[in-house]
Chains A and B, each alone.
Chain A
Amino acid sequence: MNTSARQFKEQATLLTQDLRHRQLIQTAIGKYEVVRDRVRSRYQDWNAARQAAAEIKWEAVNHLDEHLTRFATQLEARGAKVHWASTGAQAREIITNLLREKQARSIIKSKAMTSEEIHLNAALEQAGFEVVESDLGEFIVQLRKEPPYHIVFPAMHLTRHQISELFTRELGSAPTADPEELTLIARRVLRQKYVRADVGFTGANFAIAETGMISITENEGNARLTAALPQVMVTLLGIEKILPRLEDLALFLPMLATVGAGQGLTCYNSFYGGPRRPGEPDGPEEYHVVLLDNRRTELLADAEQRDSLHCIRCGGCLNVCPIYRNVGGHSYGTTYSGPVGSVITPHLRGLLEWKHLSYASSLCGACTDICPVKIDLHHHLLQNRRNASASKPSRLERLAFKVFAYVINRPGCYALVKKVGRMAQRLHPLVKGSRLDPAYAWTKTRDLPPIAKQTFKEYWSSRK
């Protein structure tokens, strides 16, 4: 087992036993489910909407070169600068150089999973910049020096008491159990940072090819402040964020809000198409957009799983996943967790190192059912398993299947094995669940159903 797989197993084992953690996650997701279903039931035809969204994304991703070119041309025509980065390292370099050139010191950031993906904060801090996350959840996990727990709800795993302790320790505020007061504390600290920040950094939920705009979805207003106050604005986004037309948002924005957080529409959906225009009172003098590949083109080259680039990062599949809900977001050890993370991480970071995630699934298909853009998630997990075993077959597994095939092809032999098995299981209780148990991997946390006293064949011939 490789390191990532071992870590996943250790963490997952710890967390599934942590009842407090499970309780917290179940409550949070339980609340979400109620509102999500209420909002979704208002749609006249949710499934047709999903189909349409899938088709629009298909069109975008399968003509990605044309749409990206159009997006960049449009944006540049309006005075923005578009940068292209093949790798995370290149993106970090582009951004660091830009900040140096602007002699920036402090950067205010709104939520961006792409920035987590390329570990931007660490790089910027190392280069001597002050980096502050402004989304409340992100701000909290930044103070705790840990990655976000969930792509939409970064601090879902913390109680208000933990957050209060954290604020007391890091910000010197008085302890309080009131979420409203905690929010106010963060708001006050961050307002000061906004006023001082030289550069505002954002991610993007969508990029509109036709009009050269990016679209940001948020509830707090921190992204809006990030795009309004600093003199320089930088947006980092993956190349797959493209949508062809502005009108496509009329469908995608409400769907993202519905599955993402159970809202009809998220509080602020804002489109930015360049720096401040002549006649506008505020906004940045300079606007830079960094387009990130970072092995997305490898995912694109896999026609079978290309639709995983349709993902709008709503987090819906995480919320419904029985594995995610028990092992939690941090166990995955990846930027993108849950079903979609298990599908794409092997492509983005290496199949053999990350194939174990494809087995962290009950294959129940709840992810595929919820996905607003109809990504065939659970089948992709199976395909990853297939690809992994084709590229590096396990000898033990092959041996096991050989033995199995041998037995199953010989009825006499099969009958004998069943008999022996029935006898042997009488002794099983003696070792069950202990290390001596040959089925230990299974029985340490589960029951082993007993073999029937009589097989159907035996029953059939003993009739009358």
Chain B
Amino acid sequence: MTEREKILGRIREALSVAAPRPGGAHAESTPAAASVMAQSSTPRSWLPKVGEGYAERLELFRQQSSDLKTELRVVASTGGFRDELRRLRESDGWKKIGAHAGTLVKGAIADLGLPVCWTDSGYKVEELENCDAGITECDALVAQTGSVLITSRSAGGRALSVLPPHHVVLARRSQLLADLPEAFALIRQRYGTDYPSFISFVTGPSRTGDIERILVLGAHGPRKLTILLSEE
């Protein structure tokens, strides 16, 4: 018998005795408890509320970004990405950037005049590590949590968005979703038949509170997260 069969055998034997359902004996406090799952199959009605419509979502996303120390810049059209990147190049003294061959990215960095480490068909880790910023697209933005949804397919692999000290995300208005349930629905709809090997919700720049619970940005991942959102 393999270990797999042994473990599964022990599990089946253990489960031959039924366990009480949650919210039985000690759940007097929530009378509606037992039917919670029956009423609705998504957590939308319990999680923090998100307003209707784009304006309210954007406002919430702005608020979340500022709490998280994410830099959010809203530009009128995708053309505005170029000006923003030039501004960052100047203010942060970029010498080299990492990028992937997404339509938005290619357009935005075309005239930036910096050497580019393209990750699409493999790259040297040392080279990417020496980039001042990684510029990627994303699958969605989530207003409820201030998150960016990326995958290895939408954001140039696993490392481009985490190895350089600054992650810049390019997004369009239509990508701003209300909440997490909506984001998970999108993942399923977009990738359900063939999931990428890496999917991630990025919520603010890398951080740690491991020393006296004092917030420090840029623990291992990027110290800065900039989101450029085109209203087009």
Interface residues in chain A, defined as those with a beta carbon under 8 Å from any beta carbon in chain B: 24, 27-28, 31-32, 42-49, 51-52, 54-58, 61-65, 68-69, 72, 78, 84-86, 90, 134-137, 140, 153-156, 158-160, 163, 179-180, 182-184, 187, 190-191, 195, 211, 213, 219-222, 224-225, 227-229, 239, 246-247, 249-251, 253-254, 261, 263-277, 279-283, 291, 293, 297-298, 300-301, 303-304, 306-307, 310, 368, 374, 376, 379
Contacts and interface: CB of A to CB of B under 8 A. Distances in A.
A289 to B, nearest CB: 12
Interface in B17-56: 17-23, 25-27, 29-30, 32-33, 36-37, 42-43, 45-49
B14 A301 contact: yes
16 contacts: A28-B212, A45-B46, A48-B36, A48-B46, A51-B27, A52-B43, A54-B23, A84-B2, A187-B218, A219-B206, A224-B200, A227-B198, A239-B7, A251-B47, A264-B203, A267-B202
A44 B49 CA distance: 7
Contacts, number: 313
B201 interface: yes
B91 interface: no
Contacts of B200: 224, 268-271
Contact of A44 (B45, B120, B123, B126): B45
Given A137-B210, A301-B17, 20 more contacts: A24-B212, A43-B46, A43-B47, A51-B22, A51-B23, A51-B27, A52-B43, A68-B7, A84-B4, A183-B211, A195-B125, A220-B207, A225-B220, A228-B157, A246-B187, A250-B184, A254-B145, A264-B145, A267-B204, A300-B14
Interface residues of B, number: 92
A275 B19 CA distance: 37
B48 A42 contact: yes
A229 B122 CA distance: 12
A54 B36 CA distance: 11
B181 interface: yes
Contacts of B201: 253, 265, 268-270
A281 B156 contact: yes
B26 A250 contact: no
B8 A69 contact: yes
Which secondary structure dominates where chain A touches chain B? Answer: helix
B4 to A, nearest CB: 4
B216 A213 contact: no
Given A65-B12, A221-B220, A379-B26, A179 B197 contact: no
B210 A136 contact: yes
A277 B197 contact: yes
Nearest to B64: A264
Nearest to B217: A180
B147 interface: yes
